[in-house]
Structure 1
Amino acid sequence: MRNRLSRHWFCTAASRPWLFVGLGNPGDKYKGTRHNYVGFEMIDAFAESQGIAMDTVHCKAIFGQGIFVGDIPVFLAKPQTYMNLSGESTGPLGAYYKLPLNRVLVFHDDMNLPCRVLRLYDKGGHGSHNGLKSVIYHFRGNREFSRLRICIGRPPGQMDPKAFLLQKFNRTARERIDDAIQEGVGALKLLLSKGLTETARSFNTDQKYKHIRFQTLPTS
């Protein structure tokens, strides 16, 4: 059913499909942690907003598909390979649907900005993020795919960054992340209707001012 429906989309859709990939780790052990789950949460929130069922396994990912307003096909994936091997799922998904990399958007955590801030980019490096390293590797070194950075804040004081990443959000940070995810869903809907360039310009400007407001607030 997936193959037949997907071919139909390619024949009739006014524009190419998008593939949204959320990076994370599978299993209850990682739910709610800073590094390992926010990409999955963004996928789930967008899927819920569009009534897309994440009930298929495809290319080592929990997978869903739907059609956005305007007849734009959207594929959603949560790789089940563990974070450091995310490309083993993302690369084959892009190849399976014959998507140019400018129609692939990866959601991932970022520690370089205050918790609740988001950034949308059309390309970039890996920033020492092992999930992104794997995706780039499986795209044969090509970095021309889009990213939605979900900022989780910096570790306080002299705290080990690895320990910080593996912690669950406290109540305050959890509320901020929940708000950020809903803002991200709105940005994704705008992207599908207006395109990446226009969406990134307006969205990142709004997030810049939010960054200033939140940069001095504690996250742990």
Structure 2
Amino acid sequence: MPDNTWLVVGLGNPGAQYAGNRHNVGQMVLDELASRIGATFKTHKTPSRVAEGFVRPGGPKLVLAKPNTYMNTSGGPVSALLKFYSLGTDRLLVVHDELDIPFDTIRLKAGGGHGGHNGLRDIQKATGSPDFTRVRVGIGRPPGRQDPADYVLKDFAGAERQSLPMLLSDAADAVEAVVEQGLVAAQQKFHAPS
């Protein structure tokens, strides 16, 4: 593998019935990235669908991966992909939904806890490390007393759907910024007050 290869994992659940759920926003971002690099997702030797390509000619290589397992068991496929591509967690970038960030907001971080996110928890357990980069896509808190577990498994609401293409584009931009410019530069760009 080239030295500048990144494994970019989009978290979500497999199957058409989950495709539009808030919990699947990580995989939606990967669709945007795959479109940009002209790659198609294919079945892989690991339990994932993978698309590969370059951010730009001579630029970082992206291995875009959607685990074929449910969100809560994402760790096995991610660990298998890291082994397959001979990459460490320093070259792992996970794109996921984040309840504690308002909808239409992107936040970037490296390391830290899982914040109750079962997909992140399982990746940390399977890789033995919390030290990977995250692109956190804000989906906001559920309204009223709605159970967060139900909320994340619902599709985006009408008004959200109108803004969703821009949010996915911003998150894809954030992934590209991390792999091309580094986390700190990307944070300065995406965390700046608008």
Shared fold, TM over 0.5: yes
Q: Distance in 1 between matches of 2:65 and 2:45?
A: 8
Q: 2:50 aligned to 63, 67, 89, which one?
A: 63
Q: TM-score, normalized by length of structure 2?
A: 0.93
Shift of 1:152: 0.5
What's the counterpart of residue 119 of structure 1?
Answer: 107
Match 1:85 to one of 33, 50, 73 = 73
| Alpha-carbon distance, 1:122 to partner | 1.6
The total of aligned residue pairs comes to 193
Give the letter aligned to residue 40 of structure 2. Answer: A
Following TM superposition, the consecutive aligned residue runs of length 4 or more in structure 1 with deviations greater than 4 angstroms are none
What are the superposed Cα offsets for residues 126-155 of structure 1, whole Å, 9 maximum, x if unpaired? 111111111001112x10000010110111
Q: Do the aligned residues in 2 keep the contact of 1:102 with 1:122 (CA within 8 Å)?
A: no
| Aligned 8 A contact 1:115 1:176 in 2 | no
Kindly provide the CA deviation profile for residues 90-147 of structure 1, in whole angstroms up to 9, marking residues without a partner as x. Answer: 011112212121110001111012111111112221111111111001112x100000
Determine if the alignment matches structure 1 residue 102 to structure 2 residue 90: yes
Letter of the 1:118 counterpart: I
Quote the Cα distance in structure 2 between the aligned partners of 1:195 and 1:105. Answer: 12
Which protein has the larger Cα radius of gyration, Structure 1 or Structure 2? Answer: 1
Which string of whole-angstrom CA distances, capped at 9 and with x for unpartnered residues, describes residues 178-201 of structure 1?
Answer: 211111122222223212221122
Secondary structure at the aligned position of 2:44 is classed as strand
* Distance in 2 between residues matched to 1:174 and 1:123, nearest whole Å: 30
Q: Which moved more, 1:17-26 or 1:92-101?
A: 92-101
Match of 2:141 in 1: 154
The 8 Å contact of residues 111 and 151 in structure 1, kept in 2 or not, is answered as: yes
CA RMSD after TM alignment = 1.4
Kindly indicate whether the alpha-carbon contact (under 8 Å) linking 1:62 and 1:79 is maintained by their aligned counterparts in 2: yes
Unaligned runs of 5+ in 1: 1-9, 211-220
- Aligned identity (percent) is 35
